Amino acid sequence: MFNATVLTLYPEMFPGPLGVSLAGKGLAGGLWGLDVRNIRDAATDRHRSVDDTPAGGGPGMVLRADVLGRAVDAAAAPDDTRPRLLMSPRGRSLTQSRVAALAAGPGAVILCGRFEGVDQRLIESRNFEEVSIGDYVLSGGEIAAMVLLDAVVRLIPGVMGKEASGVEESFAGGLLEYPHYTRPQAWEGREIPAVLTSGDHARIAAWRRAEAERLTQARRPDLWAAWRAALATKKSPDR
């Protein structure tokens, strides 16, 4: 079973949105587990201090390596095989393939940063992988951790219901997802594309593929270029 341990200064933020809808049902049903730890519990002074001024000067505060080290060690034993993830804007971008790999694994230990960041020595000594959910900065890693967990948990067998629900969606095959329609047939003068009500499954599949390609090329040229390159590699005769 996928078990997530989250280290945060604000444990009251969890489970938050992870406690409702499909993720919440899965959590209540034991399909995945969530253990939230308060970093301040690892502080040793009477003020429960967790941060200090940055070495070399500069604004803000930095989360201390000694406090975080004790928090991590209390939450995960040395033989814990779960990946250790630090939510950070300087990390590698979270992708659907990474999400799928995490969902197939035993879980994750997720550290939510705050202030100016985390002492680099903690990142190196406890083997944390820095992960980013986008090119912007949040107040802390908690919301980013929720995004990561929501993306992962929905892929756990039994959480989404129909297993096919996660197959034909954005990024699953390198392309953005095609447009969706449902009843009524006509709405405010707009009709459902005729091909979708034709009953011709081959034509429908071709239309959806063409629409996915069109949207990806227009909206995400980076994904389009990568998908085209991967397609060319597959077609190469020496492969």
User: Whole-angstrom Cα distance, residue 55 to residue 57?
Assistant: 5
- Cα radius of gyration rounded to whole Å, the chain: 22
Long-range contacts, 45-52 (Cβ 8 Å, 24+): 50/9, 51/114, 51/115
Torsion of CA 143, 10, 125, 96, to 10 degrees: -20
Residue 135: partners with Cβ closer than 8 Å, 6 or more residues away:
89
- Tokens 């004790």 found at: 70
Q: Kindly tell me the burial class for residue 231, based on how many C-beta atoms sit within 10 Å of its own C-beta (0-12, 13-18, 19 or more).
A: exposed
Report pLDDT for 235: 72
Report pLDDT for 93: 97
| Full-model pTM | 0.90
Report pLDDT for 161: 77
What are the residue ranges spanned by the domains of the chain? 2-153, 168-235
Report pLDDT for 173: 82
> In Å, how far are 72, 85, 163 from 51, measured between CA atoms?
15, 20, 44
Report pLDDT for 233: 87
At residue 5, the 3 state secondary structure works out as strand
Report pLDDT for 101: 98
- pLDDT, averaged per 10 consecutive residues of the chain (239 residues), comes to 98 98 98 98 96 96 98 97 97 96 98 96 98 96 98 96 60 89 96 97 97 97 95 72
Residue 208 near residue 178, CB atoms below 8 Å = yes
Dump pLDDT digits (tens) for 148-178.
999 999 999 999 976 545 555 667 689 999 9
Report pLDDT for 234: 81
- 2-153: what fold? Alpha/beta knot (3.40.1280)
Residue type, 142: E
Of 17, 66, 67, the C-alpha closest to 37 is 67
Domain 168-235, CATH among 3.40.630.40, 3.50.50.60, 1.10.287.180, 1.10.1270.20: 1.10.1270.20
